[in-house]
Amino acid sequence: MSDTISNHDVLIIGSGAAGLTAAITLAKTHKVLVMAKGALDSGATGWAQGGIAAVLEPGDTFESHINDTMIAGAGLNDRETVEFVVENAPAAIERLAALGVPFNEGHDDFGDRWHLTREGGHSHRRIVHVDDATGWAVQKALEKAADANPNITLMPDMVAIDLITGKHQVDYSGEGRVWGVYAFNTKTKRVEAFTARATILATGGAGRAYLFSTAPRGATGDGIAMAWRAGCRVSNMEMMQFHPTCLYNLEVKNFLITEAVRGEGGHLVLPPGVPGAGERFMARFDPERMELAPRDVVARAIDHELKRLGLDFVHLDISHQDPEFVKHHFPNIYNRLLPLGIDITKDPIPVVPAQHYTCGGVKIDLHGRTDLPGLYAAGEVSESGLHGANRLASNSLLECFVFGEAAAQDIASQWDSLPAPPPILGWDESRVTDSDEEVIVQHNWKEIRRFMWDYVGIVRTNKRLERAMHRINLLSSEVDEYYGNFRVTPDLIELRNLLEVARLIVRSALKRKESRGLHYTTDYPDTLPVPQDTVLIP
């Protein structure tokens, strides 16, 4: 049994944009513990190439940004949430600039103070960026500010297992409040309990449920699975965004080619050796917006061409633009692809779609509150109503900053009414042993990702979804038995969560009897007149 229990004012699980924003806001008045599964910078924030959307250009309006978000989200968005996020965007950018994020400076043509780029689905230039590595610059600035704050404790290498709720109290009162989390310390190999008056989930998405994903290794849906097991509703999990353009290279995995390449004039064309080689095929799918159509449209178009012609990839070509312009705008991509024999100023880039963003998640309100008292969520782990059926480019980091701030402010404003944690039971390992068959974990992990890619991908059918659910049910009994008999390891914790989120994705997909946004099924190709969230209740 683990008897290591430490108490903090506020516990934040996740050290990306949402978690660190909340921590920095709260640390003005409270002691905060920020827990990361791996290294502090191993989450999805650092991988974000594009930028952050905000109304900053003369002539742009909040209403325009709201409309673009609603159109991309196929009407499934919650308008009040969209207004809240869009109207708070300029202030979020100002806070980041004050922290030292070196946004590219503006030109007379496109905005005055910062250079604004345009991405698919946006009707104006409104993306502030740091070259093509915005997320990394933001992550480093937030980490630096958090590290310098004496009220913030940063704790890497802690794998969250389950939320601590009323049933873990020494004297169980039947209360459903969240008191913190049990986490596996990868250095000591022990499970520790962390309690707090308020807990914020900022654990990111569930991209690693799929074989091909741009998400980091740790995006295994931990926060979604933990919240679901604890009793939170989960919404719109069928809305998995596939980024249209991930580098196709057998040596380099999961390297994203940012939306901004298309925003700055990149063309999607058929590769040599097939009928119509060199053709800009987006004209057949969205003749008005072409490559600037929303991601779901572009991803389905590429998927269609891959299947129609039996291709491994299509080409994304920006070589017709001035070489200095290309190198200046995309130095990260240029330098990364050059050693692979691809000079993007001269050569097209081979690309395929890959899972990219989890639009669904734990249901929250405008304050970041979940269904359970004491538990908040922000960022990709949550379903706030911002993204609807498809996330608009560069609204994801924005959501992290706005809801990280909102959750922190709500906790601070209610502080005096938040109860202190009661005595909590330690983690019980008295009836388990060390595993002697790690191969089971690895095999099941691979199997989940494979059948999710094959059966629950860009284009779906009821038959495929039912096959996926059949596999999930078979694996569940195996994983449950394994979890009940052996000591936890990081891989086992992640496998359990992956299986949980896979089930939530498939259940949600089977419930939606229409095609809308990211959920496209040949069994129900039409869109119903009234948009409705898919809400699962534990």
In contact, 14 and 158? CB cutoff 8 Å: no
Whether 295 is catalytic: yes
| Beta strands at 158-164 and 152-155: parallel, antiparallel or unpaired | unpaired
Instruction: Mention every residue, 6+ apart, whose C-beta is less than 8 A from residue 167.
Output: none
* Of 328, 13, 263, nearest in space to 118 by CA: 263
Query: How far is it, in rounded angstroms, from Cα 509 to Cα 532?
Result: 13
Residue with tokens 């100023």: 345
Retrieve residue 438's tokens. 């790690």
- How far, in Å, CA of 267 to CA of 156, rounded? 41
Burial class (CB in 10 A: 0-12, 13-18, 19+), 359: buried
Per-residue CA distances from 417 to 253, 373, 420, 537 (Å): 48, 12, 9, 28
- At what angle are helices 490-511 and 438-455 packed, to 10 degrees? 20
Q: Does residue 533 contact residue 258 with C-beta atoms inside 8 Å?
A: no
**Contacts by 341-346, CB closer than 8 A, 24 or more apart:** 344/318, 344/319, 345/319, 346/319
List the structure tokens of 138. Answer: 């933001």
- Name beta bridge partners: 471: none
Residues 325/328/334/338 CA torsion (nearest 10 deg): 80
User: Catalytic residue among 295, 471, 496, 503, which?
Assistant: 295
532 alpha-carbon distance from chain centroid: 22
- Give me 19's structure tokens: 């978690």
Quote the tokens at residue 59: 């002539």
Name the nearest CA neighbour of 191 among 162, 214, 228.
162
- Taking the C-alpha atoms of residue 381 and residue 359, their distance in angstroms, rounded to an integer, is 9
Q: How many CB atoms lie within 10 A of CB 324?
A: 9
Residue whose entry in the numeric block shows the structure tokens 């921590």: 23
Q: Specify the amino acid at residue 312.
A: D
Alpha carbons within 13 angstroms on the beta-carbon side of residue 119 total 28
Q: Tokens 């002691």, residue? A: 31
Place of tokens 């994801």: 396
As beta bridge partners, residue 181 has 163, 194
Amino acid identity, position 527: T
Give the catalytic positions in this structure. Answer: 295
